[in-house]
């Protein structure tokens, strides 16, 4: 069910939610958190679809603040989606423009679930100081997307400069499978001395840079970032090579499969798919505290 409230106010939206709740159309019990999504109209439906998917594992009230930079008229149009149109959540879409945006916090505070943690996500353009924004200030977890920025590496430096516990970035979450697999492989070679390491990845991929930084931090060597693999430019992350004093370990991805070659063991392969925004959002919503691994890499390499 979709309820449209054109040219409305937050108090009217709250009353409508109460009416829907009393009539049985909206059930807020069982919601574990409030997810606030700040995006633009162009990326609205894509963000809602992703948030709905994540809510199936993390039942949430989803508040989407969709803004328009071109509109001058001050108005607030609201759309409430419940039932089959909202997955396992309830979705409140705030299409705001003009003076209405002068106080974003007031737009969402009256819609938050009581006594539930707040997660903020910027799927399109992300702020350089997430915790310093009106939305970020009320969230315990703040999720940015450096890959969508014009200069992702410069943006990581801005995140490091303004870092606060609870900050996170999807570029880091996308390398979780890489980090897990490499950690398991290195546990098998603890007695070997690492002399060099290389990450094959795109120069514009923040995930590739963060993976190289994480490897360097844990291996104690400088890690090279090579943008070509077998003579072709790499999109995203293509693989990792770790050189020991007398052998080499490699994990090279082709399509969704990573082929592993290592000393004293037969060659193997593992499924290593590229992570979607949905995969990353689900993981980021699972842990609401500080991501110490992300903080360590970000602050050491980019501050």
Domain regions of the chain by residue span: 2-169, 176-271
Q: Using one digit for the tens of pLDDT, what is the confidence trace for 217-240?
A: 999 999 999 999 999 999 999 999
Is 183 in a helix, a strand, or coil? helix
How much is the pLDDT for 32? 83
Beta strands in the chain (DSSP E): 2-5, 33-40, 60-67, 75-81, 90-97, 118-121, 141-144, 167-169, 194-201, 223-226, 228-229, 232-233, 237-244, 248-254, 257-261, 268-271
Residue 158 in this model has a pLDDT that exceeds 80: yes
pTM of the model: 0.93
Residue 19: band (very low, low, confident or very high) from pLDDT cuts 50, 70, 90: confident
| CATH numeric code, 2-169 | 3.40.50
102: DSSP letter: G
User: What confidence tens digit (pLDDT) does each residue in 129-149 have?
Assistant: 999 999 999 999 999 999 999
- pLDDT category at 87 given cuts 50, 70, 90 is low
What is the Cα 187 distance to its own chain's centre?
28
Is the pLDDT score of 71 beyond 70? no
Residue 132 is given by DSSP the state G
- How confident is the model over 232-280, as pLDDT tens digits? 999 999 999 999 998 999 999 999 999 999 999 999 999 999 999 999 9
Structure tokens that stand for 121 in this block: 């996500």
Average pLDDT, the chain: 92
Residue showing tokens 């108005």? 75
pLDDT at position 74 is 86
Q: Rounded to the nearest 10 degrees, how much is the dihedral formed by the CA atoms of 218, 224, 228, 234?
A: 40
Q: What is the mean pLDDT of residues 104-127?
A: 94
- Residue 67 or 29, more confident: 67
Report whether pLDDT(88) > 70. Answer: no
State the pLDDT confidence band at 98, using cuts at 50, 70 and 90. Answer: confident
Mean pLDDT of 74-86: 82
For 20-50, what is each residue's pLDDT tens digit? 877 764 555 567 899 999 999 889 999 999 9
Q: What is the tens place of the pLDDT at every residue in 178-216? A: 999 999 999 999 999 999 999 999 999 999 999 999 999
Provide the 8-state DSSP code for 41: G
Classify 166 in phi/psi space as left (phi over 0), alpha (psi -120 to 50) or beta.
left
Q: What is the mean pLDDT of residues 124-131?
A: 96
The predicted pLDDT at position 80 comes to: 93
């Amino acid at each position: 069910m979709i309820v449209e409230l054109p040219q409305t106010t937050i108090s009217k939206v709250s009353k409508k939610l109460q009416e829907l709740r009393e009539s049985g159309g909206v059930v807020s019990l069982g919601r574990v958190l409030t997810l606030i999504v700040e995006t633009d109209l162009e990326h609205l439906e894509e963000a809602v679809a992703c948030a709905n998917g994540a809510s199936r594992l993390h039942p949430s009230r989803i508040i989407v603040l969709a803004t328009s930079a071109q509109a001058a008229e001050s108005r607030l149009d609201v759309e409430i989606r419940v039932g089959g149109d909202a997955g396992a959540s309830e979705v409140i879409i705030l299409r705001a423009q003009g003076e209405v945006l002068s106080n974003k916090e007031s737009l969402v505070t009256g819609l938050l679930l009581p006594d539930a943690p707040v997660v903020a996500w910027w799927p399109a353009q992300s702020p350089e100081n997430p915790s310093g924004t009106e939305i970020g200030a009320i969230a315990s977890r703040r999720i940015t997307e450096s890959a969508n920025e014009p200069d992702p590496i410069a943006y990581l430096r801005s995140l490091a400069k303004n870092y606060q516990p609870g900050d996170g970035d999807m570029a880091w979450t996308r390398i979780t499978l890489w980090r897990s697999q490499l950690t398991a492989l290195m546990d098998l070679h603890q007695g070997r001395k690492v002399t060099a390491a290389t990450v094959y990845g795109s120069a514009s991929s923040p995930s590739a840079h963060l993976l190289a930084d994480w490897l360097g931090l844990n291996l104690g060597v400088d890690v090279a970032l090579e943008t070509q693999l077998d003579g072709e430019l790499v999109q995203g992350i293509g693989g990792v090579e770790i050189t020991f004093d007398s052998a080499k370990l490699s994990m090279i991805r082709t399509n969704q499969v990573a082929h592993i070659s290592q000393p004293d063991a037969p060659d193997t392969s593992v499924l290593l798919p590229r992570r979607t925004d949905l995969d990353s959002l689900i993981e980021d919503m699972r842990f609401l505290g500080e991501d110490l691994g992300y903080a360590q890499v970000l602050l050491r390499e980019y501050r």
